[in-house]
Amino acid sequence: MRNAIAIAGKELKSYFFSPVAYVVLALFMLIWGWLFVGVLFNLQRADMDILFHNLAFTLFLILSGFTMRLIAEEKRSGTIELLMTSPITDVQMVLGKFLGCIAFFGVMLVVTFEVPLLLFLMKGNPDTGPIIGGYVGFFLLGATFISIGIFMSSLTDNQIVAYVLTFVTCLMLWILNWLSDFMGKTIGDAVKYVSFGERFQDFPKGIIDTRDVIFFLTFIGLFLFLSIRSTESRRWR
């Protein structure tokens, strides 16, 4: 586990050693604030449910960009071979990169605390349930997208391909509940069951259902396992 944490620290530092991280954080804060103000003025109330659902789409764009290089760049530059011949195991490498990306995503969420803080400072008496539930669901959703991105990055040495695969996969898993309306009841219900959009919708309402939490944790575990297996397969080529 020590090696995984070391890799996570290295990944996190690499983000902040370049201006990209600061640009992304500033852009994310801008989008968050702009959507919050838009909801506030259009509905005359601070609806965190709509805010979190609208922001979910920004995760496809941002997290796909941050995960596309995690393993694909190692392959392209040849440093993946050095990692494979080092004392670091494939499990430690994948977990380290996952934790590093998760840490940066956590920083992204922390900088958005200004919105609920503003509500409290303005004595708007906001309901803490939807705020806490929304952040919990948003974190689980983002962590799931990151695990998908790592897997897609492990499949190719082309970052653009990894980005497109991640974006399309996350988007399709998000809108499955929309597509289920055009299917039969049995198939539609099965498709809706695995829809990220369907599973996420209760969190911003302040409802933290353990079934939804387990659902996202299962997907995270699945894609991390697939990433490890994909990385291990290089040893036999």
Predicted confidence (pLDDT) per residue in 29-58, tens digit:
887 777 777 666 666 565 666 777 777 777
pLDDT mean over 137-165:
90
Q: How much of the chain, in percent, has pLDDT values that exceed 70?
A: 78
Helix (H, G, I), strand (E, B) or coil at 122: coil
Tell me, yes or no, whether 87 lies in a domain: yes
Tell me, yes or no, whether 50 lies in a domain: yes
Q: Is the pLDDT of residue 203 over 80?
A: yes
- For residue 84, the model assigns a pLDDT of 58
Q: 203, 136 in Cβ contact below 8 A? A: yes
Closest CA to 26 of 87, 86, 85, 111: 111
User: What's the domain range around 224?
Assistant: 2-232
Render pLDDT for 69-109 as a digit per residue (tens, 0 to 9): 777 776 666 666 565 566 677 788 889 889 988 998 998 88
For the chain, give the secondary structure using H, E and C. Answer: CHHHHHHHHHHHHHHHCCHHHHHHHHHHHHHHHHHHHHHHHHHCCCCHHHHHHHHHHHHHHHHHHHHCCCCHHHHHHCHHHHHHCCCCCHHHHHHHHHHHHHHHHHHHHHHHHHHHHHHHHCCCCCCHHHHHHHHHHHHHHHHHHHHHHHHHHHCCCCHHHHHHHHHHHHHHHHCHHHHHHHCCHHHHHHHHHCCHHHHHCCHHHCCCCHHHHHHHHHHHHHHHHHHHHHHHHHHHC
* Whole-angstrom distance, CA of residue 156 vs CA of residue 163: 10
Residue 98 in tokens: 């996952």
Domain count, the chain: 1
Max Cα distance, the chain (Å):
62
- For residue 140, the model assigns a pLDDT of 94
- For residue 47, the model assigns a pLDDT of 61
Higher local confidence (pLDDT), 190 or 137: 137
pLDDT mean over 110-135:
76
Tell me, yes or no, whether 183 lies in a domain: yes
- For residue 221, the model assigns a pLDDT of 94
Contacts of 100 (CB under 8 A, 6+ apart): 7, 8, 9, 10, 11, 12, 15
Amino acid in the structure at residue 237: R
Q: How many CA atoms lie within 13 A of 226 on its CB side?
A: 15
Q: Is the pLDDT of residue 184 over 70?
A: no
- For residue 236, the model assigns a pLDDT of 52
Higher local confidence (pLDDT), 181 or 135: 135
Q: Would you tell me how many other CB atoms lie within 10 Å of the CB of residue 28?
A: 19
Higher local confidence (pLDDT), 104 or 197: 104
Tell me, yes or no, whether 237 lies in a domain: no
Tell me, yes or no, whether 24 lies in a domain: yes
- For residue 76, the model assigns a pLDDT of 67
- For residue 123, the model assigns a pLDDT of 61
Band of pLDDT at residue 219, cut at 50, 70 and 90: very high
Q: How much of the chain, in percent, has pLDDT values that exceed 90?
A: 16
Residue 105 in tokens: 């995503």
Residue 227 in tokens: 């990433």
What pTM does this model have? 0.87
pLDDT mean over 136-145:
92
